[in-house]
Amino acid sequence: MKMRNRRAHLCADRATALSCAGIPLLFLILCSSLISTAHSACAAPAGRRLQGAASAPDRLLQSPTDNYVAGMEFIESWQSKRMPLKVYYKPGSDIPGFDPKYVDEAKAACQEWTRATEGKISFQTVDEAKDADIEFNWTTLLAPDLEHKMTLGATWPDTVGGEGIVHARIAILTTLDKRHVSLQAMKWAAMHELGHALGLGHSLRPSDVMYKDVVILSEVKGGDKEILPTSPNICLTSRDRTTMNVVYAAKKIIDDIRAKGLDKRNTCHDLCRAAANCMTNGDSGSAIIVLNEILRLDKTYSVASENLMAAYYNCGAALYNKNLNAEARQVLAKAINIGKTVGDQNRLNAIVAVYRNCQGN
Ligand SMILES: [Zn+2]
């Protein structure tokens, strides 16, 4: 379930639990140190309230292990003013293997994500592709470069800087490897691809709908060969739901600040304060999204780089402390990549030390 031009970071190595001694202390020192840096560099003018997580009492997050924001290979989102998103389901009656019930599964997937976000993300069916924000297509070939890969679906989102996703096209196969795609497999594929169309990347955990490879091949006795998912009960996990909610809560922070119409410098400062506020509340996921937005606006904003390194480190350390070594390694690698540009060798060495402890045996 790949997205064009995006590379998934899979870490399939089996990792062994290692001692966590010393990690929490390092975590706290690094975190508080960088937060104070952010405050000193972005001090709010007297009398102005900090923007950020404190104004969003409905947040679900807290632990970086409850969501997979930090590990995603990309994070995008739609502006809230675009809701309800207009969805066009292209009739597939001329597509071999197409089952009209596929459309029902796609619509059910929309309802699942709406429920998961308590209506923050909503959808409306439209009759023509030209009116659509999101297009569902069914096909026997996703793209020439995917022809010989066991890929069931793909999503192509279009993004505009400062807005986010402005259009997405989803395509899902009706037949894969001469096997018919069952309704159960379509249900998973629709939820997964819609997750991409809404801005999520992949999870590293197989139980999540946004895991990269959930479907297995199977045969139905006495009938045609069908593709079935490994589990008969496909539904969004708590982590899927929390991740989507973190992404859209952070998007609201970003959009509210950008709506002020400040110049780039002050927008970055407000975003930086909001990110520091998120980190103070233990919400590294939102901080990561907001800090990435700053660097999208101004990649020379060094405080954002330092805090982003800390936020990834916080998430990686939390995963490591729960013995989720593959997930920790993925996130810590991001902290290390940023650390190489930040130039604080002591902090970089500390992160690298934790990363090495996560290496699988
Ligand atoms: Zn995918």
* Domains of the chain as residue ranges with CATH: 80-239 (3.40.390.10)
Question: Which residues have beta carbons under 5 A from ligand 1 (an ion)?
Answer: 1
Q: How far lies 87's CA from each of 77, 244, 296, in Å?
A: 16, 19, 29
**Model pLDDT, residue 222:** 61
Least confident range of 62-71, 236-245, 255-264, 329-338: 62-71
Instruction: Report the C-alpha gap between 70 and 2 in whole angstroms.
Output: 19
Name which residue leads in pLDDT, 16 or 53: 53
pTM over 0.85: no
State the pLDDT confidence band at 199, using cuts at 50, 70 and 90.
very high
Instruction: Report the C-alpha gap between 72 and 9 in whole angstroms.
Output: 8
Instruction: Report the C-alpha gap between 157 and 196 in whole angstroms.
Output: 8
Instruction: Report the C-alpha gap between 172 and 114 in whole angstroms.
Output: 21
State the pLDDT confidence band at 35, using cuts at 50, 70 and 90.
very low
Judged on CB neighbours under 10 Å (0-12, 13-18, 19+), 352 is: middle
**Model pLDDT, residue 27:** 31
CA of 162 to the centre of ligand 1 (A): 24
CA of 192 to the centre of ligand 1 (A): 6
Instruction: Report the C-alpha gap between 285 and 247 in whole angstroms.
Output: 8
Residue 249 CB partners (closer than 8 Å, separation 6+): 53, 56, 58, 59, 61, 286
CA of 270 to the centre of ligand 1 (A): 33
CA of 43 to the centre of ligand 1 (A): 40
Mean pLDDT, all residues of the chain: 79
**Model pLDDT, residue 214:** 62
The enclosing H or E element of 357 equals helix 345-357
The angle that helices 302-321 and 345-357 make with each other, rounded to 10 degrees, is: 30
**Model pLDDT, residue 179:** 83
pLDDT for residue 106 is more than 90: yes
**Model pLDDT, residue 246:** 95
